Amino acid sequence: MKEILFLEPVFTHNIWGGTKLRDEFGYPVEGDDIGECWGIAAHEHGDCSVKEGTYKGKTLSSLWTSNPELFGNYKSKRFPLLTKIIDAKADLSIQVHPDDAYASSHENGSYGKMECWYILDCKEDATIVIGHNAKTKEELADMIHGGRWKDFIREIPIRKGDFLQIDPGTVHAIKGGTLILESQQNSDITYRVYDYDRLSNGKPRELHIEQSIDVITVPAKEIGDSVRHTDDVPKNCMYELIACQYYRIFQMDVDGAMEFEQKYPFLLASVVEGSGTIDGHPVKKGDHMILCNGYGKATIEGQLKIIASTPV
């Protein structure tokens, strides 16, 4: 089936959001607090609809149920992945996600959340919060209950093009000035550990201290195991950045033309830089799409960067 589902993104407004999703990606959305563009999503908090073609106007969640053949009859009750672009103008709260087992028993059968970040842009000398410095669960609880955030939080330098895998149980946060593409399990379950003592509408936002202490992995993964630079990724090929139990992520830096085989149950693709065509169809930065099951050979032309993913 040579079907590409082009999707209409859904946006969220957040206290830490900015204007880059409109100014740099051209999305028609108002406000100066645009935090997230859910580019490929079939979630109760954001369900993208198909822009054009046979399935125009249908939501991704309804297509998942009505036309499973488009997705290779992939065995999952819900659409398994979610792709977002996040513009953090201010620091995001420090958070952690549960795994499937914890989410399923404590959050009404929800999925846990494994996610990964591709850094689309950041300030010079930017950092990101990933991991923590507690050696034992006891020290973890002490640091959190005692508000010893400086001791607790591990911050590491990042640059444009870095790729980070964030396992459930990993403390993480994006700092202001960072723009990322996030690929994740289709879940919204987040436990907020610390919010820099900020107020939202005059009140601090809710924290989830006990759940966080429950799910945070101790000790944290080594820094070197968390970040991958992508300067050396070859052009004009489908280059795998990671494969884990939930997804595989690919980078495609097209300079001229490339061909690849869409042999997966289905492939999520987001254009994050430049413009060109996919099998003659014009695409540009900010476009999100799904190449359906059985798509086969595809040709991409132009100068563009695509981040693609497929469930495992």
59-95 burial, b at 16+ Cβ within 10 Å, e below that, comes to bbbebbeebeebbbebeeebbbbbbbbbbbbbbbbbb
| Token pair in block for residue 99 | 């795994």
**In angstroms, rounded to a whole number, what is the distance separating the alpha carbons of residues 9 and 85?**
10
Per annotation, catalytic residue among 148, 192, 198, 205: 192
| Count of C-beta atoms within a 10 Å radius of residue 235 | 13
192 is catalytic: yes
CA–chain centroid gap for 80, Å, is 13
| Count of C-beta atoms within a 10 Å radius of residue 99 | 17
Q: Reading across the β-sheet that carries 115-121, which strands appear in turn?
A: 10-18, 34-40, 81-88, 178-185, 115-121, 163-166, 227-228
Q: Reading across the β-sheet that carries 191-194, which strands appear in turn?
A: 153-157, 127-132, 172-174, 94-96, 191-194
Q: How would you classify the pairing of strands 288-291 and 267-278?
A: antiparallel
**In angstroms, rounded to a whole number, what is the distance separating the alpha carbons of residues 161 and 197?**
31
Inter-residue contact 269 to 290 (CB < 8 Å): yes
DSSP letter at 224 equals G
Residues marked as catalytic = 192
